[in-house]
């Protein structure tokens, strides 16, 4: 919630208030890139070394970029850099990041506040830790729209209920009045996604957002993200340690290891003609030990 | 083993019938077929673990709820069973019941031909101490005492079983070799090992008493690719050596590479059992279909987004 709570009262242009339920087919969303990373290096000033060394990709509306790597590979730091929330003594020391055409190095704290939630938003692995345990979840979603869109109490409540329906929480009225401890991990992650999309962002970063969940719940959350992408043209960055999670959802894949991108390209290409040994290891694991052993291989692209 | 598999497929048929009675023991034909499973086999081998009509409740009085309902399973020597279930399915309770760690309300459990259902606490302790059944947790820190060196952890179960110190020390080295770890780790504490090394030590410790049956609860979920493959390779060797394995996981994908058979638990009930390839290629129960269709795959998923949505609606998930 940190990235969503800062005070501002700038209503985003054309907030997709009816985004959720409306099943109207969104026009094929394309356009100029929303998020551009160019040869980004992230330095740990305390340790005196570059932790991330050269990450670059372009994300256009309705598209999904996936980042795969083990813990410590630099994928989360890359996301945090794009959100302007690097931990203390980490900095982008080479390369550039642009959100919707604006180089983030030039942003003032005030501009960052306007951007977060309204243009770029995120969900992370442990949803419970982003919610206040002593405030009902409905009120926590409503707070985001009150702060970001300047809605009144009543309107904010309605909007919160709409958003909760949009993320397919079964009984929004009931969940609205519940505390985080009363909800399952999958429901909490939906609440977090509802809060993250509350101010109608155009980019959503999902950093290991389904890692702690059961397989069927993980699929539900991934399906929900795919739905949102199709209905609203939301652009996604999906970060996972599991190549298969990324393969299901992404147009382009980056494979990271020790802070470097060891392989990058369209998902089909990376899966069919992996060039780096590490990518081959990830693919082999699935093909020798996973479900892929028993299922028909994907048709050539 | 093939006969056993066929037989388990036969039990599936019973499970699939809509409106089939809940308790197998109330259904003579089904019960007969289940009981015949090992006997009908040409091999004289009896199952290492035979569980029949197992029922477990948690809580008292008004809070009492059924965690396992009429679970019937056999596992033969050298067979690997993948027990699949999500949060709250009762899969860990099943393992705990087999170890005598929870109260069983109905049904029977036989370990290595011995009916252990009516055991008292002392008999259970004696059985566990003999080490015929061993258990490995997801988090190796729970299987290993943080204050014991690797060597002490490995020799302790042997010393308890009456082995002399020198023989036990030699065995500790063999065990490390078996899980492909260097001997210099013997003097380390669990906290000084990587996650993958710790899990391999936990497996080595479980093997110290030469168990006939090894229960593994999410043994690879916390590990990265390379370490996952290491553990799976070790499990395959154990299977080849004739150990019966129960590989418990929420993820069908993680057991697909090592299991002979899978059993799917849903809300405390066994909804499907069968050879792993059959269950993955042609799942019969809607929950199994959702499980297979939800597992992330590199290639074409087993179910489309709309198929998954329909299955969820059907199961009221």
Query: B123 lies in which domain range?
Result: 2-132+211-315
Instruction: Give the separation between CA A117 and CA A155, rounded to whole angstroms.
Output: 18
Whether residues A241 and B224 touch (CB distance < 8 A) is answered with yes
CATH of the domain at A281: 3.40.50.300
Angle of helix B165-178 relative to helix B150-160, nearest 10 degrees, comes to: 120
Q: What angle do CA B202, B208, B214 make, to 5 degrees?
A: 65
Q: What mean pLDDT do residues B45-68 have?
A: 89
Contacts of B225 in chain A (CB under 8 A): 70, 281-282, 285
Whether residues B87 and A295 touch (CB distance < 8 A) is answered with no
- Three-state SS at B7: helix
Instruction: Give the separation between CA B302 and CA A244, rounded to whole angstroms.
Output: 13
Query: Is the pLDDT assigned to residue B290 strictly greater than 50?
Result: yes
Query: Is the pLDDT assigned to residue B105 strictly greater than 50?
Result: yes
Query: Is the pLDDT assigned to residue A293 strictly greater than 50?
Result: yes
Give me the count of residues in chain B: 317
A201-222 tens-digit pLDDT: 999 999 999 988 889 999 999 9
Calculate how close chain B gets to A23, using CA atoms only, in Å: 14
Which value does ipTM take for this structure?
A: 0.81
Domain for residue B190, yes or no?
Answer: no
Site from B227, B260, B298, B309 to mutate, A interface, most A CB atoms within 10 angstroms: B298
Tally of CB atoms within 10 A around B79:
23
Contacts of A248 in chain B (CB under 8 A): 296-297, 301
Report which of A295, A190, A90 is spatially closest to residue B297, judged by C-alpha positions.
A295
Instruction: Give the separation between CA B284 and CA B261, rounded to whole angstroms.
Output: 15
Domain for residue B256, yes or no?
Answer: yes
Considering its fold, how many domains does chain B have in total? 1
State the DSSP string of A237-279. EEEES-HHHHHHH-SEEEEEETTEEEEEEEHHHHHHS--SHHH
Domain for residue B222, yes or no?
Answer: yes
Whether residues B257 and A215 touch (CB distance < 8 A) is answered with no
Q: What mean pLDDT do residues B37-63 have?
A: 75
B35 to B4, B38, B76, B95: CA distances (angstroms): 11, 7, 14, 21
The partner residue sitting opposite A216, judged by closest CB among B276, B277, B317, is B317
User: Which of A34-43, A214-223, B140-149, B303-312 is predicted with the least confidence, judged by mean pLDDT?
Assistant: B140-149
Residue A258: predicted pLDDT: 93
Q: What stretch of H or E contains A207?
A: strand A203-207
CATH of the domain at B215: 3.40.50.300
Domain for residue B178, yes or no?
Answer: no
Considering its fold, how many domains does chain A have in total? 1
Q: What mean pLDDT do residues B250-278 have?
A: 93
Whether residues B294 and A243 touch (CB distance < 8 A) is answered with no
Place of tokens 């809607």: B286
Whether residues B256 and A243 touch (CB distance < 8 A) is answered with no
Query: A189 lies in which domain range?
Result: 35-293
Domain for residue A4, yes or no?
Answer: no
CB pairs under 8 A between A and B: 116
């Amino acid at each position: 919630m940190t990235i969503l709570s800062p005070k501002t009262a700038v209503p985003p242009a054309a907030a997709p208030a009816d985004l959720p339920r409306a099943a109207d087919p969104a026009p094929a969303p394309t356009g100029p890139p929303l998020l551009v990373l160019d040869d980004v290096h992230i330095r740990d000033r305390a340790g005196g070394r570059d932790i991330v060394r050269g990450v670059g990709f372009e994300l256009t509306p309705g598209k999904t970029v996936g980042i795969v790597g083990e813990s410590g590979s630099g994928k989360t730091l890359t996301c945090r850099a794009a959100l302007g929330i690097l931990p203390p003594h980490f900095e982008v020391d080479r390369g550039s990041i642009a959100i919707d055409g604006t180089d983030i190095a030039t942003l003032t704290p005030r501009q960052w506040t306007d951007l977060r939630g309204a243009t770029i938003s995120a969900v992370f692995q442990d949803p419970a830790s982003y919610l206040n345990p002593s405030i009902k979840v409905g009120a926590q979603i409503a707070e985001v729209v009150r702060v970001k869109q300047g809605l009144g109490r009543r309107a904010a409540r309605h909007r919160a209920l709409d958003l909760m329906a949009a993320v397919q929480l079964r009984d929004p009225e009931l969940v609205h009045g519940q505390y985080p401890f009363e909800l399952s991990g999958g429901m909490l992650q939906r609440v977090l996604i509802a809060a993250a999309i509350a101010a109608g962002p155009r980019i959503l970063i999902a950093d290991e957002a389904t890692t702690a969940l059961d397989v069927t719940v993980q699929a539900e959350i991934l399906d929900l993200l795919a739905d949102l992408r199709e209905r609203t043209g939301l652009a996604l960055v999906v970060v996972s340690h599991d190549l298969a999670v990324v393969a299901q959802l992404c147009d382009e894949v980056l494979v990271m290891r020790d802070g470097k991108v060891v392989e990058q390209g369209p998902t089909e290409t990376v899966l069919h003609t992996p060039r780096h040994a590490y990518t081959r290891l990830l693919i082999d694991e699935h093909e020798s030990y996973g479900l892929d052993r028993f299922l028909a291989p994907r048709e050539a692209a | 083993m093939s006969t056993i598999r066929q037989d388990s497929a036969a039990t599936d048929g019973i499970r699939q019938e809509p409106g089939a009675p809940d308790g197998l023991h109330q259904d003579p034909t089904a019960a007969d077929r289940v009981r015949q499973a090992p006997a009908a086999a040409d091999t004289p081998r009896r199952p290492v673990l035979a569980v029949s009509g197992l029922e477990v409740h948690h809580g008292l009085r008004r809070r009492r709820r059924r965690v396992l309902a009429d679970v019937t399973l056999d596992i033969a020597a050298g067979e690997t069973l993948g027990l699949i279930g999500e949060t709250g399915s009762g899969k860990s309770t099943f393992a705990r019941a087999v170890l005598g760690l929870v109260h069983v309300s109905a049904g029977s459990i036989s370990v290595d031909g011995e009916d252990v259902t009516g055991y008292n606490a002392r008999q259970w302790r004696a059985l566990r101490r003999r080490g015929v059944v061993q258990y490995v947790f997801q988090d190796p820190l729970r299987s290993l005492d943080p204050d014991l060196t690797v060597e002490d952890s490995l020799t302790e179960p042997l010393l308890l079983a009456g082995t002399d110190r020198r023989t036990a020390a030699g065995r500790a080295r063999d065990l490390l070799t078996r899980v492909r770890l260097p001997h210099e780790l013997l003097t380390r504490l669990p906290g000084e090992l990587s996650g993958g090394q710790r899990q391999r030590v936990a497996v080595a410790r479980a093997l110290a008493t030469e168990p006939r049956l090894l229960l593994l609860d999410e043994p690879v979920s916390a590990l990265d690719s390379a370490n996952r493959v290491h553990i799976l390779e070790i499990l395959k060797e154990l299977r080849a050596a004739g150990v019966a394995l129960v590989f418990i996981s929420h993820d069908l994908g993680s057991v697909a590479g090592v299991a002979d058979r899978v059993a799917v638990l849903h809300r405390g009930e066994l909804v499907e059992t069968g050879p792993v390839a059959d269950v993955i290629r042609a799942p019969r129960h809607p929950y199994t279909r959702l499980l297979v269709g939800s597992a992330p795959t590199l290639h074409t998923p087993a179910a489309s987004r709309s198929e998954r949505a329909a299955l969820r609606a059907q199961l009221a998930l």
